[in-house]
Amino acid sequence: MSRQQVCDILIVGAGATGSLAALVLAQAGLDVVCLEQGSWVNAADRPHRLADWSWQRRTGWNPDVNKREHADDYPVNSDSSQILMWNAVGGSTNVYGGLWPRYRPSDFRKGTEHGLQPDWPITYEDISPFYELADKIIGVSGLSGDRAMPPRERCPTRPLPVSAVARRLSAGFDELDWHWWPVEASVISEDYDGRPGCNNCGVCNGCPRGSMNEFATSIWPKAIRAGCDLRTQARVLKIEKGADGRATGVHYVDRKTGQVLFQKARIVVVAANGVGTPRLLLASENLANGNDQVGRNLLHHTLVASEMWVNGPIDGHVGFAASLISREFAETDISRGFVNGFNLNCVTSTPSAGELAAGWFSSARAPWGTHHHQWFEKHFGHSIGVFAIGDDLPNPENRVTLDTTRTDSDGMPGAKVQYVPGENDKRMMNYMLDRLKDLAQACGAVEYRLQDYRDQAGVYRTPAWHMLGTCRMGKNPENSVVNGWAQSWEVPNLFIVDGSVLTTGGTVNPTPTISALALRTAGYIRDNFASLSTA
């Protein structure tokens, strides 16, 4: 094993938050090294331009880590959830959908509100400036003035075009007297920062043309120009701790050569997502886990969905994948029979005729045989999808642990994921399904199907893009892993900047909040580097 020079900042993981931390810290003149177990994803390798892109999305480019075979992945043994992630420069933003909604103030105050979740150690007001900063860096499209949210600055780019799906849905929401608003997206509606505006292609799982913000193409080039040393195919095996209780660096495999190296660092920042980060800490001789909190309280969100079909063509395969968001049910209303709220994330439809006919996200699909074409003609161009996404309560037994039965290609234990929705979550999902039914009827759907993500045995197998809470931020070291600056309670020069630090899941896609927190933490490290980097 060779020893290398000590760097100021060592970042584990080159996904969204790793890239933002690298950008801030390298631009400050610090010596930053980032280790990424995966590789660069070349635009030319992406399926978007291929005739068989629909097939590719279900096979080699499937976001479910257990439905593709990729050398950069590690084993994830889940008893329930479908674990969706991408291990590469840019992380899961290589395949995400680019919705960009913010948390609301009450999401940070659930301990005060009902006590079934803890309060965050920070408030909405603490994170708000960093939401704005992230939006500017990324070029978020959207519309200010939503009365269901705190005031915000004007979005860097205007909202994406209003689709026929959005018009149909908004009429349904108006009929119900429910809130709706154009969705904010990490998709630029006009040219921005050297990237081309969206061309409404609809193939929104990552975006090799660069209209959707993928951190590999929008952030990493800037971080590298600022001096960050990004090493790909570099899988971290263990974070090393010294006798003084401080992290000293990491052991990693250079997967190009097979050589195991040690990179010394003054500060270690982990950005390996809500499964990868607890896995790494647990594999590092239980690092930062004296209170047995690492890996616990896994949150996925409560998630159910509906697929509806309406008379008259609406061409849901055209335009950005999402259309509207409704925050009508975002706050707790005890009269509903549960705590916390949810949002209605209205998408459009699948961009693929084949996906629609083969079955999109409900049980509906074109039958085989003589009625196949009749079904297709009636449904294609007429479909709308809506997700209901809610704030699930933490359960210490919903957790990530090490899977000692399987290892990755470098001998490191895989991850084991356990997740079962609780009583409050089930009540919420029942209520959500009823509201989805209301919406379908208000939209004049001639047919609709609900999706509860339960399999034939009744197991809830949610498509889990959101892996949160497993190293949560808190006010005290008894029930949390990091403090309000995402700094480990136990290892003072160890920071975590991915979704694992979220104290609650909120009612929205978490990437904007995770990104804002990463910028806030990186700024804190930059401004306090001298004191943080010494014992």
Partner 1 sequence: MLKHLVDELIPGDTRWPAASDVGVHGVVMLRLFSGQPSRILEQLSTSLDRSSDGLPGTANRAAIVQRFSDTQPALFEQIYTAAVLAYYEMPAVIEAIRASGRPYHASSHEVGYAMPVFDLERDTPRHGRGSYLRTEEVAPLDLSSLDLDAVKTTKWGLER
Residues 451-480 that bind partner 1 (CB under 8 A): 452-454, 458, 460
- Closest approach of partner 1 to the CB of residue 336, in Å: 10
Determine if 51 is a binding residue for partner 1 (CB under 8 A).
yes
Collapsed DSSP state (helix, strand, coil) of residue 35: strand
DSSP lists the bridge partners of residue 417 as: 78, 400
- 3-state SS class at 527: helix
Residue whose CB is less far from partner 1, 150 or 242: 150
* Identified binder of partner 1 from the candidate list 36, 72, 355, 498, rule CB under 8 A: 355
Pick 171 or 446: Cβ nearer partner 1: 171
Of residues 240 and 425, the one with the C-beta less far from partner 1:
425
Phi/psi at 125 (nearest 5 deg)?
A: -65, -30
Instruction: Decide if residue 133 touches partner 1 (CB under 8 A).
Output: no
Site for partner 1 (CB under 8 A): which residue of 160, 275, 310, 486? 160
Using CB under 8 A as the binding rule, the residues of this chain from 377 to 416 that contact partner 1 are: 377, 380-381
Task: With beta carbons less than 8 A apart as the criterion, state whether 249 and 267 touch.
Answer: no
H or E element in which residue 7 lies: strand 7-12
For partner 1, give the closer residue by CB, 5 or 370: 370
Of 117, 345, 395, 424, which lies in the binding site for partner 1, with binding defined by CB under 8 A?
424
Query: Which phi and psi angles does 512 have, rounded to 5°?
Result: -60, -40
Q: Supply the minimum distance, in Å, between the C-beta of residue 52 and partner 1.
A: 6
Span 83-122, contacts to partner 1 by CB under 8 A: 104-106, 108-109, 112-116
Q: Are 270 and 278 in contact (CB under 8 A)?
A: no
Q: Which of residues 501-530 bind partner 1 (CB under 8 A)?
A: none
Stretch of residues binding partner 1 (CB under 8 A), selected from 3-11, 129-137, 281-289, 356-364: 356-364
In contact, 222 and 236? CB cutoff 8 Å: no
CA 149 to chain centre: 21
Q: Which residues contact 526 (CB under 8 A, 6 or more apart)?
A: 24, 25, 28, 30
Calculate ∠ Cα 268-42-205, nearest 5°.
85
- Edge-to-edge strand ranges of the sheet holding 413-418: 76-78, 413-418, 399-407
Q: Which part of the chain contacts partner 1 (CB under 8 A), choosing from 2-10, 141-149, 214-222, 269-277?
A: 141-149
- How many residues appear in the chain? 535
The 3-class secondary structure across 356-405, one letter per residue, is: HHHCCCCCCCCCCCCCHHHHHHHHCCCEEEEEEEECCCCCCCCEEEEEEE
- 146 part of the interface to partner 1, by CB under 8 A: yes
Is 9 a binding residue for partner 1 by CB under 8 A? The answer is no
CA–CA separation, 316 and 96 (whole Å): 18
Instruction: Compare residues 251 and 454 and give the one whose CB is closer to partner 1.
Output: 454
Residue with Cβ nearer partner 1 (406 or 454): 454
Part in contact with partner 1 (CB under 8 A); list of ranges 5-13, 90-98, 372-380, 525-533? 372-380
Question: Interface with partner 1 includes 63 (CB under 8 A)?
Answer: no
Q: What is the helix (H) or strand (E) element at residue 166, kind and residue range? A: helix 164-176
- Closest CB to partner 1 among residues 39, 362: 362
Site for partner 1 in 317-346 (CB under 8 A): 317-319, 327-328, 330-332, 334, 337-339
Please choose, out of 86-94, 196-204, 229-237, 481-489, the segment that lies near partner 1 by the rule CB under 8 A: 196-204
Pick 265 or 356: Cβ nearer partner 1: 356
Burial class (CB in 10 A: 0-12, 13-18, 19+), 505: buried
The smaller minimum CB distance to partner 1, of residues 55 and 524, is found at: 55
Quick check: helix, strand or coil at residue 194?
coil
C-beta neighbour count of 296 within 10 angstroms: 23
Q: Is 202 an interacting residue with respect to partner 1 (CB under 8 A)?
A: yes
Within positions 425 to 444, which residues make up the interface with partner 1, using CB under 8 A?
A: 426-427, 429-430, 433
Task: Determine if 201 is a binding residue for partner 1 (CB under 8 A).
Answer: yes
User: Buried b / exposed e across 427-436, counting CB within 10 Å, b at 16+?
Assistant: bbbebbbebb
Phi, psi of 345 (to 5 degrees): -90, 105
DSSP 48: G
Stretch of 9-17, 252-260, 366-374, 435-443 lying at the interface with partner 1 (CB under 8 A): 366-374
How far apart are CB 103 and partner 1 at their closest, in Å? 11
Under rule CB under 8 A, residue 49 binds partner 1: yes
Under rule CB under 8 A, which residues in 222-281 are in contact with partner 1?
A: none
